[in-house]
Amino acid sequence: MTDETEALGPHPGLETGPRAMGVGKSMQHRTMAMAALEELRERILNADYPPGFQLRQEALAREFGMSRIPLREAFLMLEKEGLIRMSPHRGAVVAELTFDEIDELFSMRSLMEPWLMARSIGKLTAGDFAALEHVQEQYALSLAQPLDSHDVARWSGLNRDFHMRLHRHAASPRTMVLVANLLTECDLHTRIQLLGVPGARERAVAEHRALLDLCRSGRHAEAAEAMRAHIDNIRQGLLTMSLRRKREDLSPEQEGA
């Protein structure tokens, strides 16, 4: 007797022909691409792959045990995040911000984030403040650890979480997406500033604390201005470092020219 389930055929949506196999293969590639994306992003943000480092597709494919197709997809996503640049001659290279790019990125943040926060502050709830206090506590603890034991990877996540929670009630989804992308693009360079500028870690913790206190006390205009100053301090620190590196790279003859 014919099995009733066989007579009915495959369940709608559970195709088993060539089209379904193609969809499955595509999903597999996407999953592998996401795994490669996360690993490469972490290596870049941890400075395991410093600015200017060339990502060799063949070597990475061997290391990750995957074909080059999902790696190419991961590279495209990293390029959209601003973490790598695709060069016709060198392939994928970890992005290195120039003086002008640092100025532009952090200037964009200093325009958007105070505006978002001003729209959001009055709607922050007791639950929001409790979450912000927890993030601030973890951020302060992480930055206060001895330098050789820093979990530097945590800094970006905690910093991003703090900023995005302050803006969460702004009801401006497009600007929120832009700011989230800017925070990702700035991650590596913010870490460089925290590591390379004397007193930067203590200053970052103090500025986050001041922002939180101003928001809690309802001093909205002062909070927005404090956010602008906080972002500008990072910008100025990075620009100073960029100028110093440029001077160090110049020979005495070039510097005097």
At residue 125, the pLDDT reads 97
**Residue 202 within a domain:** yes
Q: Which residue has the tokens 């996360």?
A: 38
pLDDT of residue 48: 83
Half-sphere exposure of residue 200: CA atoms within 13 angstroms, side-chain side: 22
Residue that has been written with the tokens 């640092």 in this structure: 102
Q: Determine the Cα angle at 163 with ends 157 and 169, to 5°.
A: 125
Q: Which CATH number does the domain housing residue 82 bear?
A: 1.10.10.10
User: Per the structure block, which two tokens stand in for 144?
Assistant: 């206060």
Establish if 6 belongs to a structural domain.
no
Tell me, what's the pLDDT at 17?
A: 52
Domain end call among 65, 94, 123: 94
Label residue 94 left, alpha or beta by phi (over 0 means left) and psi (-120 to 50 means alpha).
beta
What is the CATH number for 168? 1.20.120.530
Does the residue 256 lie in any domain? no
Check whether residue 215 and residue 230 sit in a common domain.
yes
**In 91-188, where do the E strands start and end?**
91-94
Claim to verify: residue 114 and residue 239 sit in the same structural domain: yes
Q: Please, what is the end-to-end C-alpha distance for the chain in angstroms?
A: 95
Helix (H, G, I), strand (E, B) or coil at 136: helix
CB atoms within 10 A of CB 47: 15
In a domain, 9, yes or no: no
Q: Specify whether 53 is located in the same domain as 71.
A: yes
pLDDT computed for residue 11 by the predictor: 42
The verdict on 152 and 62 lying in the same domain is no
Same domain flag for 181 and 60: no
Say if residue 110 is in the same domain as residue 232: yes
From 66, 94, 122, the end of a domain falls on 94
Question: What is the extent of the structural domain holding 169?
Answer: 99-249
pLDDT of residue 7: 41
4 part of a folded domain? no
Question: Does 8 reside within a domain?
Answer: no
**Could you tell me if 46 and 153 lie in one domain?**
no
Same domain, residue pair 219 and 132: yes
Q: Which amino acid is at 155?
A: W
Query: Same domain, yes or no, for 118 and 42?
Result: no
Kindly report whether the global pTM for this prediction surpasses the value 0.75: no
Question: Quick one: how many helices (H) and strands (E) in the chain?
Answer: 11, 3
pLDDT, residue 148, reads 52
The answer on 225 and 131 residing in a single domain is yes
Q: Could you tell me if 84 and 183 lie in one domain? A: no
Are 56 and 114 contained in the same domain? no
| Residue 1 within any structural domain of the chain | no
| pLDDT computed for residue 250 by the predictor | 58
Q: Does residue 106 belong to any structural domain of this protein?
A: yes
Lookup result for tokens 């941890």: 46
Count: domains in the chain: 2
Low-confidence stretches of the chain (pLDDT < 70) are 1-27, 147-153, 245, 248-257
Q: Pick the last residue of a domain from 34, 62, 94.
A: 94
